[in-house]
């Protein structure tokens, strides 16, 4: 759809008590590697989002989505399903490890299968790894999402030396720092998400 064909979305309605409609956030689990640590991070993070009544979360696990590696003109049902969920989201949080100073190929494939679905929406990051805590993966992702006209929020959540950050039950050994970081990132994501959602309801984004 080109710019001249875009239509104005209906204005976002508030809840009956006057509070804004919850922001629809797609949480994308990037790693598909066998033995991955991603579920532990995702379980903890979705526990943080569950404490917020201003968010409605949809978890997209790329290990379960099984998107094709080869991009094609006629994508299959797996691509269509994920694409619809990305399109429905107002904002995104990407949970990613760092592989060889960057992010997983599975995530790049998921990003590249779609385009307009990402446009004019905010993206937050939860990263993990060794000494860098996955931050080099995040910096590469900022460049990729900028090309897609998405807005990446400044603050991130990062776990440095992740294997020593969680206990046997999957809870952070020192929860104060990551919980504080998660709140700051989600506050920024929510502000951008609401602002862009409301703005697009009045005036379509023209790329």
Per-residue model confidence (pLDDT) at position 69: 86
Per-residue model confidence (pLDDT) at position 75: 81
Residue with tokens 């900028």: 146
Per-residue model confidence (pLDDT) at position 7: 40
Interior angle at CA 73, CA 27 and CA 117, nearest 5: 30
Q: Is the pLDDT of residue 22 over 70?
A: yes
Average pLDDT of the residues of the chain: 92
Mean pLDDT of 128-146: 97
pLDDT in tens, 24-80: 999 999 999 999 999 999 999 999 999 999 999 999 999 999 999 888 877 889 999
Q: Is the pLDDT of residue 91 over 80?
A: yes
Per-residue model confidence (pLDDT) at position 1: 37
pTM, to two decimals: 0.89
pLDDT in tens, 4-19: 344 444 444 555 566 7
Per-residue model confidence (pLDDT) at position 72: 81
Per-residue model confidence (pLDDT) at position 18: 67
Q: Where are the beta strands (DSSP E) in 38-84?
A: 55-61
* 45: three-class secondary structure by DSSP: helix
DSSP-derived secondary structure letter, 99: B
Mean pLDDT of 72-98: 94
Q: Which helix (H) or strand (E) holds 91?
A: strand 91-97
Q: What is the longest distance spanned by two Cα atoms in the chain?
A: 55
* 75's tokens: 């994508």
Distance, CA of 64 to CA of 29 (rounded, Å): 10
pLDDT in tens, 105-122: 999 999 999 999 999 999
Per-residue model confidence (pLDDT) at position 4: 36
């Amino acid at each position: 759809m080109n710019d001249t064909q875009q239509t104005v979305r209906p204005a976002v309605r508030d809840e009956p008590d006057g509070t804004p409609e919850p922001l629809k956030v797609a949480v994308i689990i990037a790693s598909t590697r066998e033995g991955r640590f991603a579920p532990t991070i995702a379980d903890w993070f979705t526990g943080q989002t569950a404490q917020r009544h201003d968010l409605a979360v949809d978890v997209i696990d790329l290990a379960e989505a099984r998107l094709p590696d080869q991009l094609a003109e006629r994508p299959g049902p797996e691509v269509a399903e994920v694409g619809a969920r990305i399109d429905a989201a107002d904002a995104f949080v990407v949970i990613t490890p760092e592989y060889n100073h960057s992010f997983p190929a599975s995530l790049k494939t998921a990003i590249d299968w779609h385009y307009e679905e990402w446009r004019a929406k905010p993206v937050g990051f939860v990263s993990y790894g060794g000494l860098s805590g996955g931050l080099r993966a995040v910096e590469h992702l900022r460049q990729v999402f900028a090309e897609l006209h998405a807005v990446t929020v400044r603050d991130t959540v990062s776990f440095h030396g992740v294997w020593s950050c969680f206990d046997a039950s999957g809870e952070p050994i020192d929860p104060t720092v990551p919980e504080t970081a998660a709140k700051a990132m989600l506050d920024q994501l929510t502000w951008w998400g609401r602002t862009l959602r409301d703005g697009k309801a009045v005036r379509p984004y023209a790329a």
